[in-house]
Structures are given as C-alpha cells and as structure tokens.
Structure 1
C-alpha cells in the first residue's frame, strides 16, 4: 500500500476533531519526508486541516465552516506523558465550563508541576500555571475549582460577587470526601485563596472542615476581595475586606 493510501486509510478511521502529527504514521525512519508530503497534500485537498507546524486534525465540517478541535485535543501532548497525567486544563480554559463566565478565550491555560514559557499553537496561546500539588485524574476537577478561587479577580466578564455565588453552588454539590480533599489540596495554595475557600465552605456549613485552613492563615493579614463581605458575613472571620 502506498504511503498516501495508508495515511488516508488511517485518517478515515479517526474521529472528527482528532489532532495528530506525522509521527503517528511513521513506521520506518526513512518515511518521514514522504509522510509529511502526503499530509500536506491532504491539507491542500481539504481532507485534513493544519493546526500548527507539524500538527494536523480531521475537521468537522459545518455550514459555518470547519470546527476547531476541542481544547483538550489541541494540548493533549502537554497533559499526558507515557500514559501518566502531568497537566490539566485550567484558568480561562475552564471558567466557561464551570459556569463562571460566558466568554470563550483563545488562551489555553494548563496547570503543571513544572511550567514553561507561553507559546503559540495555531490560533491559541498556550500558557502555564504552577501547581504545587501532585496532579492525578481524580483530583483535577478539584484543582480546577481551587484555581478559579485563586484567580477569581481575573475571571472575565463577571464580578467577584457573582463568581462567589456560582462557586458556592459548585461546592454544595461536592461530597464530604471531595470537600475534605479540597481543603487538603488548598493548603498548598496562596493565603487569599485559602481564606476565600474557608468563607465559602463556612457559608454552606460543613462542620469544622475549614479548621485546617483557618489555622494556616496569619490572623492579622487582610484580603481585599470587594463585594464578598456583603454576600457572605462569614468573610469577617477570614479577614476578607
């Protein structure tokens, strides 16, 4: 089978929106140039689209044009290495999915233990947020919530008060076990994030679960989060002004 036919055969079996590189088709070292040429011919023919240098995807075609791949597909090589989870979507990438904003950003933020400078990939800017906790598939949803609390002032097209109201709803839907894990993970977050989490958890009355957070804070430090105190009287206890 010719390389072009082989590549077309494999692409036909890929789901729409799937991102791949030439390395996914190479079985022999000397095939690299032939594979790249074949892929570029398929781009010219409109069968596949180019995301960025060396990265392609199988587009989903709609009456309004080709849909871009899901953000997870765009950065999947940065989220997993050798089958191990090493990063997760966070920040602007998940504010919309958490119901914190209606805006969709072309900035994809990734939480990782080891960060690197931001870079461009197609129409997206990929940036990184330092995560001090061990990252597992199980704790990613909790880390995303904590990141939203940490960067609450940067959530676009909303207010701190509205974000807190939405976050309190999200926290109410967590199990006791998840809240316990959330508190443990929060201990590696900045003091302002711990104070705001403590305020929100006290509001939904989770029996002394916030004590580790409270003990971890400097009792004389104030945290400026306008509007929070008006909505949540518990903010006084946490020195939120």
Structure 2
C-alpha cells in the first residue's frame, strides 16, 4: 500500500474531531518527510483540516458548518508524557463543564506541576497554571473543583454567590472518601481556598473533615469573597466576608 493510501485509510478510522500528527503514522511508515508532505497535501485539498503547525484533525460537518475539535483534543499532547498524566484541563475550560458559567472562552488553561510560557494553537491561547499536588487521573476532578474555589472571583458571567451555591452542590455529591482527599489536596492551596472549602463542608454537615482545614488557617485572617455569605451560613465561622 502506498504511503498516501495508508494515511488516508488510517485517517478514515479516526473519530471525527480527532487531532493527530505525523507521529500517529510513524510506527507503520518510517518516512517522516513523506508523511508530512502527504498530510499537507490532504489539508490543502480540504480532506483534513490543519489546527496548527504539524497538527491536523478530521473535521465533522454539520448543518451549521464544520465543527472544530474539542478543547481536550487541541491540547491532549500537553497533558501526557510517555503515557503518564502530567496535566489537566482547568480554568475557563472547566467552568462551563461544571455548570459555573455558560461562557465559552478561546483561552485553554492547563494545570501542571511545571508551567511553561503561554502559546497559541489555532484560535486558542493556551495558558498554564501551577499545580503543587501530584496529578493523577483519579484526583483530577477534585483538583478542578479546588481550582474553581481558588479562582472563584475570576469565573466569568456569574457572581461569587451563584458560583458558591453551584460548587456546594457539586461537593455535596462527592463520596466521603473524595471529600477527605479534597481536604488533603487543599493543603497545597492558598488559605482562602481552604477557608471556602471548610465553610462549604461545614454547611453540608461534614464537620468531620473540617478540623484539619481550620487548624491550617490563621484565626485572625479574613477572606474577602463578597456574596459567599449569602450562599453559606457558615461563612462567618471561617472569616469569610
């Protein structure tokens, strides 16, 4: 089978919106330059679409036009290394998914232990947020919630009160084990995040998890989160104003 035929056959088997590079074919075809030329020809002819230099995707056509890849596909290579998870979607990318806002942003934020300068990829600006905890597949949903608590003032098109109410509902659905893990992970977050998490857990009647959070805070420090007290009757106990 010719290189172009092999590439076309392989692409046909990719799901719509899947982002790929020449490396997706490299195990079978050892001619890197030939692969890149073939992919560029296919992009020029409209058979595939180009996301950014060296990155392509299989577009999905709808009655409303061509769909772009989802944000995970756009940045998946930045969140994994040698089969190990090294990053996760956070910030604007996750606020919408968690029901905290209806706004969709062209900025993709990634949590990583080691950050790097921002970059552009297609229409997206990709920024990195430092995560001090070890990142695992299991704790990513908890880190995303904690990040939302940390940056609650920056969630667009909403209020702190509404965001607090929504996050309270999300945390209420977690298992006791997850709540315990969240308290442990919160130790590496700023005091304001720990205070807000503590107030939410206390509001939910989960005081068994709050002692460690309370002990980690300076009792005379106050946290300025306007509107949080309207969603949490326990806000004052945690010096949240």
Residue equivalent to 1:178: 178
Structure 1 segments, 4+ long, off by >6 Å, are: none
Residue equivalent to 1:120: 120
Q: Please give the alpha-carbon distance, in whole angstroms, between the structure 2 residues aligned to 1:227 and 1:70.
A: 33
Q: Which moved more, 1:31-40 or 1:88-97?
A: 31-40
What stretches of structure 1 of length at least 5 have no aligned partner? none
Q: 1:85-137: per-residue Cα shift (whole Å, max 9, x none)?
A: 10000010100010000011111100000000111011111101100111000
Q: Please give the alpha-carbon distance, in whole angstroms, between the structure 2 residues aligned to 1:135 and 1:114.
A: 11
Once the two structures are TM-superposed, the CA of residue 27 in structure 1 deviates from its matched residue by: 4.8
DSSP 3-state at the match of 1:73: helix
Once the two structures are TM-superposed, the CA of residue 34 in structure 1 deviates from its matched residue by: 1.6
Once the two structures are TM-superposed, the CA of residue 222 in structure 1 deviates from its matched residue by: 0.8
Q: CA 1:28/1:230 → structure 2, altered by over 3 Å: closer, same or farther?
A: closer
Residue equivalent to 1:49: 49
Q: CA 1:28/1:206 → structure 2, altered by over 3 Å: closer, same or farther?
A: closer
Q: Please give the alpha-carbon distance, in whole angstroms, between the structure 2 residues aligned to 1:230 and 1:13.
A: 52
Once the two structures are TM-superposed, the CA of residue 24 in structure 1 deviates from its matched residue by: 1.9
DSSP 3-state at the match of 1:109: strand
What stretches of structure 2 of length at least 5 have no aligned partner? none
Residue equivalent to 1:80: 80
> TM-score if structure 1 supplies the norm length?
0.97
Q: Please give the alpha-carbon distance, in whole angstroms, between the structure 2 residues aligned to 1:76 and 1:29.
A: 23
Tell me if structure 1 keeps the 8 A contact 2:201–2:207. Answer: no
Q: Please give the alpha-carbon distance, in whole angstroms, between the structure 2 residues aligned to 1:217 and 1:58.
A: 50
Q: Please give the alpha-carbon distance, in whole angstroms, between the structure 2 residues aligned to 1:236 and 1:69.
A: 44
Tell me if structure 1 keeps the 8 A contact 2:61–2:67. Answer: yes
RMSD, aligned α-carbons? 1.3
| Number of positions where the alignment pairs a residue of Structure 1 with one of Structure 2 | 241
Whether 1:98 and 2:98 are equivalent positions in the alignment is: yes
How does 1:144-223 map onto structure 2 within 5 Å?
144-223=144-223
Q: Please give the alpha-carbon distance, in whole angstroms, between the structure 1 residues aligned to 2:6 and 2:79.
A: 29
